[in-house]
Amino acid sequence: MKLLFRLCYLLCFFQVTADACEAGGIKVNTDFDGASSANLLTECMIDIENQHIRLTFQPENTPINNSPWYAFKISSQQPQNVSVKISIVNGSHRYHPKYSVDGKHWLPLTFTTSDEYLEFKLHSAKHPVWLAAQELITNNDYHLWAKELATHFDIKTSVLGYSVQQRPILKLISDIPQSNKWVILVGRQHPPEVTGAMALFSFAETLLSTSTLAQSFRREHNIMILPNINPDGVALGYWRHNANGVDLNRDWQAFKQPEVKAVDDALSELTTKGHHIVMAVDFHSTHNDIFYTMPHDYGIKQPYLVKNWLNLLDSKYVDFNVIQRPGNNPDRGVFKQYIADTYKVHAITYEMGDHTDRAFIKQFAVDAANTFMQSMLTAQHDQLHLIAKPND
């Protein structure tokens, strides 16, 4: 009898669909931008009797950094409490699960972990609930952000180029005709790294603001913002790579990926026209808040610029340390190294922690941008003073 029941359960109540799975009025689906694509969700099982949902996710390819992304929706015909168990292939749980009832506003879930599962309980109803490893910031969110910026600030929005799957790569420019100096902001090389995206939003908005400092800064510097250079990875719910299965932040020597090639072409075109790249900031997320910098003695212009900036930023905080980690990796093909080697100027990798308080991320980015502008303008003033000073 038990065997007959199990057979009936599997055949009569369990249905696998193209999007995910459905059984007994409970539905799991991934039919939205940023959700885990079909090849990443390898198991989707609904145990109706025990109200359990079991999901298994795998990365787009291996080897890969341990950044196990997942995003899906759950709904049910009748309100009920369900237990969700998530397991990861070729990775371990890095992110703390979050939920949303509208896909925009997110709250943390109470969860437990073991060697095999991450588990949490959820109240499900007809209105779907979004579940994700981190908050969703989709390709459409970037376009909405750019549109909103254009209503407040003088920026130009265009398409830098196209991804492997022909998604547009957004470019925002605030340029002053009399200036030939450029600051470059880059984001979302790695899809799950949304705390870096949050930092980029606030940092960029501060540079573009109407404050006296920002206006003075923009009289001297053009700003190019490339907020999302991996739109395919973002759309497909990838852990790390682009649609070709390549880590974009390892391609800045080979330039084989269209996303990286598009950025390199744009910067090369600027310098061909007599413009100068003077600084670049690449926004990421990792386990902790940290700034990866170039060594001050690497032979780049204004050698102490970044050190002075981050020291100034650190001085504003009593209970938070701005960690600087200088490093030189000439053979890894990372963005900051590419900028330093190609243009002989500073570049940094601005990392926000996976679990850093979201309000702090935004406020810290505002302070980081303001001290960045102060340091850049001070360094420029000092350089002009030295040039103007007569020889002894």
pLDDT tens digit string along 4-24? 334 333 333 344 455 789 998
Note down the domain range covering 81.
9-132
Q: What is the mean pLDDT of the chain?
A: 92
Are 319 and 353 part of one and the same domain?
A: yes
| Domain membership flag for residue 109 | yes
pLDDT tens readout for residues 74-98: 999 999 999 999 999 999 999 999 9
Are 58 and 90 part of one and the same domain?
A: yes
Whether 101 and 109 have beta carbons less than 8 Å apart is answered as no
Are 217 and 256 part of one and the same domain?
A: yes
pLDDT score at 392: 44
Are 90 and 235 part of one and the same domain?
A: no
The band of 175, judged by pLDDT with boundaries at 50, 70 and 90, is: confident
Are 164 and 120 part of one and the same domain?
A: no
Q: Is the whole-model pTM more than 0.85?
A: yes
| Domain membership flag for residue 4 | no
- CATH code for the domain in which residue 34 is found: 2.60.40.3120
| Domain membership flag for residue 91 | yes
Last residue of a domain, one of 102, 132, 162: 132
Are 26 and 116 part of one and the same domain?
A: yes
Answer whether residue 232 shows pLDDT above 90.
yes
| Domain membership flag for residue 1 | no
pLDDT score at 388: 44
| Domain membership flag for residue 81 | yes
pLDDT score at 50: 86
Whether 22 and 74 have beta carbons less than 8 Å apart is answered as no
The band of 382, judged by pLDDT with boundaries at 50, 70 and 90, is: low
| Domain membership flag for residue 217 | yes
Number of domains comprising the chain: 2
| Domain membership flag for residue 2 | no
Are 170 and 296 part of one and the same domain?
A: yes
| Domain membership flag for residue 152 | yes
Which residues fall within 8 angstroms of residue 346, CB to CB, at 6 or more apart? 279, 280, 293, 294, 300, 301, 302, 305, 306, 339, 340
pLDDT score at 1: 39
Last residue of a domain, one of 132, 152, 179: 132
Distance CA 15, CA 275 (A): 59
Distances (CA, A) of 359 to 103, 137, 319: 19, 16, 16
Are 114 and 157 part of one and the same domain?
A: no
pLDDT tens readout for residues 297-349: 999 999 999 999 999 999 999 999 999 999 998 999 999 999 999 999 999 99
Last residue of a domain, one of 132, 157, 183: 132
Are 92 and 235 part of one and the same domain?
A: no
Are 83 and 153 part of one and the same domain?
A: no
Which residues fall within 8 angstroms of residue 304, CB to CB, at 6 or more apart? 296
Query: What value does the mean pLDDT take over residues 36-63?
Result: 94
pLDDT score at 115: 86
Are 155 and 122 part of one and the same domain?
A: no
Q: Is 180 helix (H, G, I), strand (E, B) or coil?
A: coil
Are 299 and 166 part of one and the same domain?
A: yes
- CATH code for the domain in which residue 273 is found: 3.40.630.10
The 10 Å CB-count burial string (b at 16+, else e) for 193-228 is: bbbbbbbbbbbbbbbbbeeebbeebbebbbbbbbbb
| Beta strand extents in 91-248 (DSSP E only) | 98-100, 107-108, 111-113, 118-124, 129-132, 156-162, 168-174, 181-187, 222-226
